[in-house]
Amino acid sequence: MTGSTSERLVEAAFALYEEQGYDRTTVDDIAARAGVGRATFFRIFGSKEDVIFPDHDVLLERIRTRLAHATVGTGPVAVVEAAAVVLDHYLAEGDLARARYRLTRTVPALRHRELAGMQRYRQVFGEFLRSWFAETGQVADGDVLGVQLRAELLADSIVTAHNHVLRGWLRGETADPRTQLRTALAAILDLHAPRPAEEPAAVVVLRADADLASVLPALRAAVHEPPPR
């Protein structure tokens, strides 16, 4: 037997779901194929559906920490990179992600579970954006939509854009999903940006794989420097 118990269960589940279909596969089948007891399956994965999904808790925590490091001026950067964290995870999964895609398209129960998972990402982004809008005054006090709704709307867009790009890659239609996501998110952030725009505005999205704090001073300096004549 290779791999941990958890890995063997995941492999067995994916294999059986694809071979004989989700409905015709029992948890007993999966456990037997992985060489463990049925109880062990339910100890590791709470349900028959959870086996095929990534560990959302881990992913959400990574997003939260990335967003928590955002300062007043770097909200958009943090959002883009947080979304990129999730995308990168799926890209790294490769065939596993593709197999999951085939299943979620076919089995309603799995599609619903995926929806429930996505909602948690919306909430995390939404909560961040709500406080960010409030702190930075991005949304005026007398705004028609209000801070709460504007945060929800943008959070929806972020998640939807991510899923759109991801699906494109899963279908093999996208060569460079990472830049596609960044481009899309830049356009979306521009769409949601405050619109007293008579001034020429610039939305700059950077990828700071290294320490963000170390980049910020240089970035500020670069922006505030007089242009070379």
Partner DNA sequence: CGTGTCAACGGTACTCAGTCTCACACGGCC
Partner DNA sequence: GGCCGTGTGAGACTGAGTACCGTTGACACG
Supply the minimum distance, in Å, between the C-beta of residue 42 and DNA.
4
The nearer residue to DNA, 50 or 127, going by C-beta atoms, is 50
- Minimum distance from CB of 28 to DNA (Å)? 6
Residue with tokens 């867009």: 157
Taking a C-beta distance cutoff of 8 angstroms, is the pair 162, 91 a contact? no
Binding mask 12-51 for a second copy (x = CB under 8 A): ----------------------------------------
* 155 close to 168: Cβ distance less than 8 angstroms: no
What is the enclosing helix (H) or strand (E) of 73?
none
Nearer to a second copy, 12 or 161 (CB): 161
- Least Å distance, CB 108 to DNA, is 11
Residues 6+ apart with CB under 8 A from 87: 162, 165, 166, 177, 178, 181
171 sits in which H/E element: none
Site string for DNA, 10-49 (x = CB under 7 A): ---------------xxxx------xxxxxx-xxx-xxxx
* Nearest C-alpha neighbor of 133 from the set 199, 48, 76: 76
Could you say which of DNA, a second copy, none residue 134 binds, taking C-beta under 5 to 8 angstroms by partner kind?
none
Q: Quote the CA–CA distance of 127 and 117 in Å, as a whole number.
A: 16
Q: Which residues bind a second copy (CB under 8 A)?
A: 111-113, 115-116, 119, 144-145, 148-149, 152-153, 156-157, 160-161, 164, 179, 182-184, 186-188, 190-192, 197, 199-209, 212-213, 215-216, 218-220, 222-228
